[in-house]
Amino acid sequence: MRILKSALLMTALAALLVAPLGSAMAADEIKLGTIFSRTGPLANLGLDSWRGAELARIVQNQKGGLLGKKIVFINGDAPNPKAAVSESERLCTVEKVPVILGSFSSSISLAASAKANQHKVIYWELGGVGDKITERGLKYVFRTCPTGSDLGRDQLRFALGELAKKIGKKPEQMKVASIYEDSAYGTACAAGIRDEAKKMGIKLAVDEAYNHKATDLSSLVMRVKAAGPDVILESSYENDAIMFFRQAQEAGLKVRQFVGSGGGMNLPGYQKALGNATSGYVCNVGYPGYNLNPAYAKGIKELEALYTKTFGEKPNSVFSVINYMGTMALWDVINRAGSLDPDALVKAALATDIPADQTILRFGIKFAGPGSKNMGQNILARYFISQWQDGKLWIVSPAAAATPGRSLQVK
């Protein structure tokens, strides 16, 4: 199996930092589609997710491309699910791409991947976590990242494990509130929390959805305050996360910790809007960024430098790393398939078994097969725990991945 070893990854990335990125493409090209939110309310996260895939394209092209050809992206813009269907149709029927990469947003992924599957085009999901993406039995849909219910389960496990211990309470003494935006992403996270709470015999103090486009969350804030939780488990996008936190402060809602599930709570804009109020007070279960311990994530600093060189700015979210890793796995699948025939790609994908020590984020890649409830899902994917401290988001768990000198704080 042609898998990029950690040492080779570091060498390749280092070489790219001094090599020109605008070299001429070969006459033969492989056209692949991408669908991300490049405009609209999710554009910030959508664009940064695409950038991770773009870095993987650059790295692979510097190595000679795929099947002897250079990789070219045909980019689609999907600010909403309706646009996702249209763009997926265009990429499949007009551009005739064999593979579409996406999408960050679960709702957009659900719409776009269903259309791609109808056309027997591989849909390679890199960051959308809604469980239903890989629970529909779609032959040509694969996902390299963890699921939303994984997020929710890990939120509750963290709250009743490491966090409870740090606070000084037993798991059964913790009062937990779960609030979530009501799209595919938030509901998947909440379902994971609910399922895990049932297994643990824990009753949630609050379990309530809201619309992420709402302009006022004060009534939700007051209901949470009345319940008196120790911790709030929150699944939200950026603007709604900022609004809830601000209104919670204004209402005098005090908890020991907010625990997010990625989304908007791990963005620089979230911390910038809220300032030091988040320090030691907001954790995230989600994707790691470039602040992983470099001894743990081999090549992470070289990738960060390549990002800065390519896009002219430092990374503005954690999403590019998970998208980079998942796209590199796609290159492995295409090379092993030896062609772009959809059934050959499916066969190669289902044979994938990449060990954890051969990926930049140190979790393996192996897809659930036909007959599984979650066919096409990477069953080895997992999350990390980070916390806002002193204006930056630091990895605090697992210990081996933690940013040197950083550990979990509570107020």
Query: 89, 77, 33, 7: which is closest to 327 by C-alpha?
Result: 33
Whether residues 47 and 125 share a domain: the answer is yes
Measured CA angle at 308 (ends 303, 314), to 5 deg: 105
Res. 370: pLDDT tops 50: yes
Can you give the pLDDT at residue 2? 43
On whether both 319 and 389 belong to a single domain, the answer is: no
Residue 141 and residue 13 share a domain: yes
Q: For the chain, what is the largest distance between any 2 Cα atoms, rounded to a whole number of angstroms?
A: 66
Number of domains in the chain: 2
Q: Are 285 and 392 in contact (CB under 8 A)?
A: no
Q: pLDDT > 90: what percent of the chain?
A: 85
Query: Distance between CA atoms of 278 and 282, rounded to whole angstroms?
Result: 5
Query: Which residue is associated with the tokens 């470099």?
Result: 294
**Per-residue pLDDT for 25 more than 50?**
no
Q: Of 10-24, 143-157, 203-217, where does mean pLDDT reach its minimum?
A: 10-24
In angstroms, the Cα distances linking 401 to 144, 160, 341, 361 are 20, 21, 38, 9
Crossing angle of helices 300-311 and 6-16, rounded to 10°: 30
Is 364 among the domain residues?
Answer: no
Of the candidates 168, 166, 149, the one whose C-alpha atom is nearest the C-alpha of residue 158 is: 166
Looking up tokens 């911790």 gives 231
Both 199 and 103 in a single domain? no
In tens, the pLDDT along 219-277 reads 999 999 999 999 999 999 999 999 999 999 999 999 999 999 987 898 889 999 999 99
| 409 in any annotated domain | no
pLDDT for res 24: 29
* Inside any domain, residue 370: no
Percent of the chain predicted with pLDDT > 70: 93
Residue 375 placed within a domain: no
Query: Residue length, the chain?
Result: 411
Q: Is residue 379 part of a domain?
A: no
Which helix (DSSP H) or strand (DSSP E) does residue 210 occupy?
Answer: strand 206-210
Q: Which domain holds residue 225?
A: 149-286+384-401
- pLDDT for 262 equals 80
Query: For residue 56, what is the domain's CATH number?
Result: 3.40.50.2300
How high is the pLDDT of residue 12? 52
pLDDT of 17 strictly over 60? no
Kindly report the average pLDDT of the chain as a whole number: 92
Tokens of 66: 């795929």
Averaged over 6-25, what is the pLDDT? 45
Is residue 255 located within the same domain as residue 388?
A: yes
pLDDT of residue 336: 98
Query: What phi, psi does 323 have (nearest 5°)?
Result: -75, -35
**163 and 100 inside one domain:** no
Residue 23 has pLDDT above 50, yes or no: no
| Same domain membership, residue 256 and residue 188 | yes
Instruction: Supply the DSSP string of 261-302, one letter for each residue.
Output: -SGGGGSHHHHHHHGGGGTTTEEEEE---TTS-TTTSTTHHH
pLDDT of 21 reads 38
Structure-block tokens of residue 220? 């939700």
Please report the sign of the dihedral spanned by the C-alpha atoms of residue 261, residue 267, residue 77, residue 346: negative
The token pair at 70 is: 């250079």
Contact 130, 190 (CB under 8 A): no
Helices (DSSP H) in 94-131: which residue ranges? 106-118
pLDDT-derived band at 5, boundaries 50, 70, 90: very low
- From residue 184, give the alpha-carbon distance in Å to each of 49, 82, 198, 226, 354: 18, 15, 21, 27, 28
> In this structure, are residues 252 and 218 in contact, taking their beta carbons and an 8 Å threshold?
no
Residues 339 and 255: their CA atoms lie apart, in Å, by 54
Shared-domain flag, residues 119 and 10: yes
Residues 221 and 333 in one domain: no
Tell me, what's the pLDDT at 4?
43
Same-domain check for residues 133 and 244: no
Instruction: Kindly state whether residues 136 and 154 are assigned to the same domain.
Output: no
My answer on whether 178 and 135 are in the same domain is: no
Whether 39 is covered by a domain: the verdict is yes
SS3 344: helix
Residue with tokens 């990469």: 101
Assess whether pLDDT exceeds 50 at residue 171.
yes
What is residue 268's predicted lDDT score, i.e. its pLDDT?
Answer: 85
> Has residue 373 been placed in a domain?
no
In sequence order, the β-bridge partners of residue 176 are: 231
pLDDT per position as a tens digit, 39-80: 998 898 899 999 999 999 999 999 999 999 999 999 999 999
C-alpha 51/C-alpha 177 separation (Å) is 34
15 against 77, higher pLDDT: 77
> From CA 402, how far away is CA 291, in angstroms rounded?
8
Q: Note whether residue 372 is domain-resident.
A: no
Distance between CA 212 and CA 236 in Å, rounded?
A: 7
Q: 59, 13 in Cβ contact below 8 A?
A: yes
